[in-house]
């Protein structure tokens, strides 16, 4: 193949997160603490958000107008997709490693303290949370109103997100155990 851009896009540190593409703009966070908007056709920087003091590990997600991304400094940022200006942020005081998901009109994300949280997309308010008592470092995945997450205890969990943001753990499967978990297990939320 051939190079698409005249020169590579460079940051001052490594990039480990998955890029997000919305309307011909590539959004990516770096270990230099900067979140970038890059023109997909030219490879030139269109915008940047540099107010975070932590690394970006997980990928971003968008509702079409706003870019949502978590940082290892414990903040979720909601950024305007055009100029990456800050719409709102929420500090949960624990690293956000995995990528968030959108369910209903809620942003759902996890943090290193073992909590799963939902907040309003519009303002970051009306937080609901569930403490799973495990380290959560994986990306969330959603299918309809169910999210899936894995933890450091070798578990995969299915959790329902209600329209008001409440979380209800439906099931858990331990990958290091052949026996299924009974339906009446002690739910975390």
Domain ranges of the chain: 1-91, 96-189
More confident residue, 108 or 1: 108
Would you state the pLDDT for residue 3? 78
* CA within 13 Å, CB half, 6: 3
Would you state the pLDDT for residue 85? 98
Please state whether the predicted TM-score (pTM) of the whole model is above 0.95: no
Residue range 96-144, pLDDT digits in tens: 999 999 999 999 999 999 999 999 999 999 999 999 888 888 899 999 9
Alpha-carbon distance 132 to 116, whole Å? 7
Residue 183: pLDDT over 60:
no
Q: Which helix (H) or strand (E) holds 84?
A: none
CATH topology of domain 96-189: Thrombin, subunit H (2.40.10)
User: What phi, psi does 181 have (nearest 5°)?
Assistant: -80, 135
Nearest to 29 by CA among 75, 71, 73, 76: 71
Q: Helix (H) and strand (E) counts for the chain?
A: 0, 16
Residue range 133-164, pLDDT digits in tens: 888 888 999 999 999 999 888 888 999 999 99
Alpha-carbon distance 37 to 29, whole Å? 9
pLDDT band at 185 (very low <50, low <70, confident <90, very high): low
Contact between 54 and 71 (Cβ < 8 Å): yes
Residue range 6-31, pLDDT digits in tens: 888 999 999 999 999 999 999 999 99
Q: Is the dihedral of CA 125, 52, 139, 43 positive or negative?
A: positive
pLDDT band at 38 (very low <50, low <70, confident <90, very high): very high
Q: Which helix (H) or strand (E) holds 132?
A: none
Q: What is the DSSP pairing of strand 141-143 with strand 128-131?
A: unpaired
pLDDT band at 68 (very low <50, low <70, confident <90, very high): very high
CATH number belonging to domain 1-91 = 2.40.128.630
Residue 80: pLDDT over 90:
yes
Contact between 76 and 119 (Cβ < 8 Å): yes
Would you state the pLDDT for residue 181? 65
Name, in order, each residue with C-beta under 8 angstroms of 174's C-beta and a sequence gap of 6 or more.
Answer: 153, 154, 155, 181
């Amino acid at each position: 193949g051939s190079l698409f851009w005249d020169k590579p896009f460079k940051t001052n540190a490594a990039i480990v997160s998955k890029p997000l593409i919305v309307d011909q703009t590539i959004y990516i966070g770096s270990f230099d603490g900067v979140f970038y908007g890059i023109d997909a056709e030219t490879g030139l920087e269109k915008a940047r958000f540099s107010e975070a003091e932590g690394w970006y590990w997980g990928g971003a997600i968008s509702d079409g107008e706003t870019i949502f991304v978590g940082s290892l400094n414990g903040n979720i940022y909601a950024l305007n997709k055009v100029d990456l200006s800050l719409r709102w942020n929420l500090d949960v005081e624990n690293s956000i490693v995995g990528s968030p998901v959108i369910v209903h009109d809620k942003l759902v994300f996890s943090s290193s303290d073992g909590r799963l949280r939902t907040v309003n997309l519009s303002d970051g308010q009306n937080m609901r949370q569930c403490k799973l008592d495990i380290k959560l470092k994986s990306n969330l995945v959603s299918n309809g109103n169910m999210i899936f997450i894995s933890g450091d205890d070798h578990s995969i969990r299915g959790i329902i997100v209600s329209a008001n943001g409440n979380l209800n753990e439906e099931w858990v499967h331990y990958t290091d155990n052949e026996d299924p978990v009974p339906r009446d297990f002690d739910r975390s939320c």
